[in-house]
Structure 1
Amino acid sequence: MLLDYERYQVKSKKRKKRKIVLFFFILVLVGGGAYLFISEVILKTSPLELLAAPSPIQELDRLWTRFIELSPETDTAGQEEKLTILTDLLEKSQALLADTPLDLRALVYHGYASYYRARFEHSFETRLPYYNQALVSLRRARIIADPTLEGQLAYMLGRIYFYKRDYFYDLAERYLEQAIHLGYKGQESYEYLVVINDAWGNAERSIEYLEKVLKERTDDMYLFRLAGNYWKVGRTEEAVRILEGIINRTDNENLGRECRFLLGEISFAAGKFSAAEAQYRSILEKDDDSAEAHFRLALIYEKKGDYVQYRYQLRRTLENDPGHSGARSRLR
């Protein structure tokens, strides 16, 4: 039987990242972290119905069951088996759809298999055809599906549009919010919506979704993003408190460095140049080759009118990053 690949989810330890950007987080969305197991039946079939099902459907059920049984962190042989299973699922579901174009289970199998098959591609251009196939199949499935499945299918549609990148973020948001409204929330629904609203510069909406995520689980990476959005909307004291808390407790050096960069930026914007300098000096104590820290020190010395130190820090910036556009433009 076909199961929802979102719900038996076991999170593995998140891969540490150098820098948090407007993302593809994504979620995070994406890092070396969590992989999904199945949790609930998407198309419920009794044992008697399964025994009576046509052979092609039984074969699709068997392949999907084997796919979800494989560990999310399998070795090379396991990954090759997954790829083989997905290829078989696509071929067999496509053959079934050629005879019965509106077979619900075949449509959903084809849509899910297309989505997961895309993950084995190494470029956006080669993933895109699989995403498009998944969208076609799942949109058709949603037309004929039982109402209890609409939320799950809406979530998958939103997820696929998200991975088609920012030109499709409007559709991603629409379907992800539809899914939540219908009572279906995937493991990373809010994270996707945070990334989308960050990309649109909608800090208030990002805050709303980040706060929902943090009610479910505490995560310093999400707290960092929340602090950045708090600062954007003028909630500076809350932002500073969050950042200082992360710095005091985190063992993640990359995250700690990003918190210091943001604290320095907040202090600089407030005209607190000594406080900003202290943050950048702390970064350089652990990494004297940080071009960005040297560049931000240069900006502080420019404000202070110390042009000897200003030029020195610009030169140090270019020593560590010859292509740094900010430093190059200032040393012309």
Structure 2
Amino acid sequence: MSYEISAQILYKTPFDPTALMYHGYASYFLAISENDTEQAQFLFNEAINSLRLAILQSSEKVVPQLEFMLGKAYFYKDVLSSSNYYSDLAVKYLLLAKSKGYTAVELPEILGLSYSALGMTNESISAFTEALNIRETDILLLSIAEQYMASNQYSAAEQYLYRISKNCKDEKIILKTHYLLGKIYINKENYTEAENELLKVIEKNENFADAYYELGVIYEKQGDIAKARAEWRKSLRIEYNHIEAQKKLADYKQ
């Protein structure tokens, strides 16, 4: 209803700040509930255009909230596009809102995810840590663990993954946790523990190609190339274009 009404008002008065704000909000909420990707992108574009114009026309009191919504719109547009072309704009407007004192429970988490998409690991860790101080969730713990791994801080990552393993009920997160712990133990040359974690993954999901690949890495490091090759071939049977497995098999081609 707000979408149509605000559109009618804007047709007559294109720069009405209140109508621009409501149209931006309505377009955003329609976009995140839209199943059709093309239509969702269209609605996000409408939200972004309306919110940008609203920022120019609105009072200083309202601007931080609009900047926050604009940052969220860019973030979700980026998620849909899978290109990271909009992550920098998400960061820009979220930081502008934050710098003006605007607070929202999800702001640091979205900021952390946007930093992650840009490969800004330290900034992402900082934002996720702030988010954890507001509310602790398994997906947040996993996200910060992945960022610590990206910066080769394996001990820190292990601590967050251990916190997930104690109480998590989400099967996908549990699988990812075991997989990442397996990679950490490989890095620490604790191959028995690494193998145990990866076998837990395969026990729950026999089509987890990366788990077979990492098992192959363990056996390679232990000098059992025949066993390693068997695991890499399993990866390729599940994911025929698994680049790492292809490379390993090519390296040990007989």
TM-score by length of 2: 0.85
Residue of structure 2 aligned with 1:244, choices 162, 167, 172: 162
Query: In structure 2, what is the Cα distance between the partners aligned to 1:283 and 1:269?
Result: 18
Deviation at 1:150, TM superposition (A): 1.0
Aligned equivalent of 1:139: 52
Structure 1 unaligned segments of length 5 or more: list them: 1-84
In the alignment, structure 1 residue 101 sits paired with structure 2 residue 14: yes
Query: In structure 2, what is the Cα distance between the partners aligned to 1:106 and 1:310?
Result: 62
Aligned equivalent of 2:175: 257
Following superposition of structure 1 onto structure 2, how do residues 312-323 of structure 1 map, counting pairs within 5 Å?
A: 312-323=230-241
Aligned equivalent of 1:327: 245
Deviations 1:217-255 (A, max 9, x none): 111221122122223334332222222232233233322
Deviation at 1:120, TM superposition (A): 4.7
Residue of structure 2 aligned with 1:150, choices 17, 38, 63: 63
Structure 1 residues 270 and 119: CA distance shift in structure 2, 3 A: same
Amino acid in the other structure paired with 2:228: Y
Q: How many residues align?
A: 245
In the alignment, structure 1 residue 227 sits paired with structure 2 residue 183: no
What RMSD in Å do the two structures reach over aligned CA positions? 2.3
Amino acid in the other structure paired with 1:99: K
Query: Are 2:71 and 2:91, in contact at CA under 8 Å, matched by a contact in 1?
Result: yes
In the alignment, structure 1 residue 91 sits paired with structure 2 residue 91: no
Query: Are 2:87 and 2:115, in contact at CA under 8 Å, matched by a contact in 1?
Result: no
Residue of structure 1 aligned with 2:198, choices 269, 280, 284: 280
Query: In structure 2, what is the Cα distance between the partners aligned to 1:97 and 1:316?
Result: 58
Aligned equivalent of 1:18: none
Query: In structure 2, what is the Cα distance between the partners aligned to 1:272 and 1:218?
Result: 29
In the alignment, structure 1 residue 187 sits paired with structure 2 residue 105: yes
Aligned equivalent of 1:178: 96
Aligned equivalent of 2:27: 114
Deviations 1:66-111 (A, max 9, x none): xxxxxxxxxxxxxxxxxxx2xxx33332332233333222221222
Structure 1 residues 95 and 290: CA distance shift in structure 2, 3 A: closer
Structure 2 unaligned segments of length 5 or more: list them: 79-83
Query: In structure 2, what is the Cα distance between the partners aligned to 1:134 and 1:284?
Result: 43
Amino acid in the other structure paired with 1:203: T
In the alignment, structure 1 residue 217 sits paired with structure 2 residue 135: yes
TM-score by length of 1: 0.67
Query: Are 2:105 and 2:134, in contact at CA under 8 Å, matched by a contact in 1?
Result: no
Deviation at 1:322, TM superposition (A): 4.4
Structure 1 residues 295 and 92: CA distance shift in structure 2, 3 A: same
Residue of structure 2 aligned with 1:130, choices 32, 43, 50: 43
Query: Are 2:115 and 2:123, in contact at CA under 8 Å, matched by a contact in 1?
Result: yes
Query: In structure 1, what is the Cα distance between the partners aligned to 2:112 and 2:134?
Result: 15
Deviation at 1:306, TM superposition (A): 0.8
Amino acid in the other structure paired with 1:226: I
Query: In structure 1, what is the Cα distance between the partners aligned to 2:208 and 2:13?
Result: 60
Amino acid in the other structure paired with 2:45: N
Higher mean C-alpha displacement, 239-248 vs 315-324: 315-324
Structure 1 residues 170 and 256: CA distance shift in structure 2, 3 A: same
Query: In structure 2, what is the Cα distance between the partners aligned to 1:320 and 1:287?
Result: 11
Query: In structure 2, what is the Cα distance between the partners aligned to 1:231 and 1:182?
Result: 32
Query: Are 2:87 and 2:117, in contact at CA under 8 Å, matched by a contact in 1?
Result: no
Aligned equivalent of 1:302: 220
SS in structure 2 of the partner of residue 147 of structure 1:
coil
Identity percentage of aligned residues: 33
SS in structure 1 of the partner of residue 86 of structure 2:
helix
Query: In structure 1, what is the Cα distance between the partners aligned to 2:41 and 2:168?
Result: 38
Query: In structure 2, what is the Cα distance between the partners aligned to 1:171 and 1:316?
Result: 41
Query: In structure 1, what is the Cα distance between the partners aligned to 2:161 and 2:206?
Result: 22
SS in structure 1 of the partner of residue 85 of structure 2:
helix
In the alignment, structure 1 residue 293 sits paired with structure 2 residue 245: no
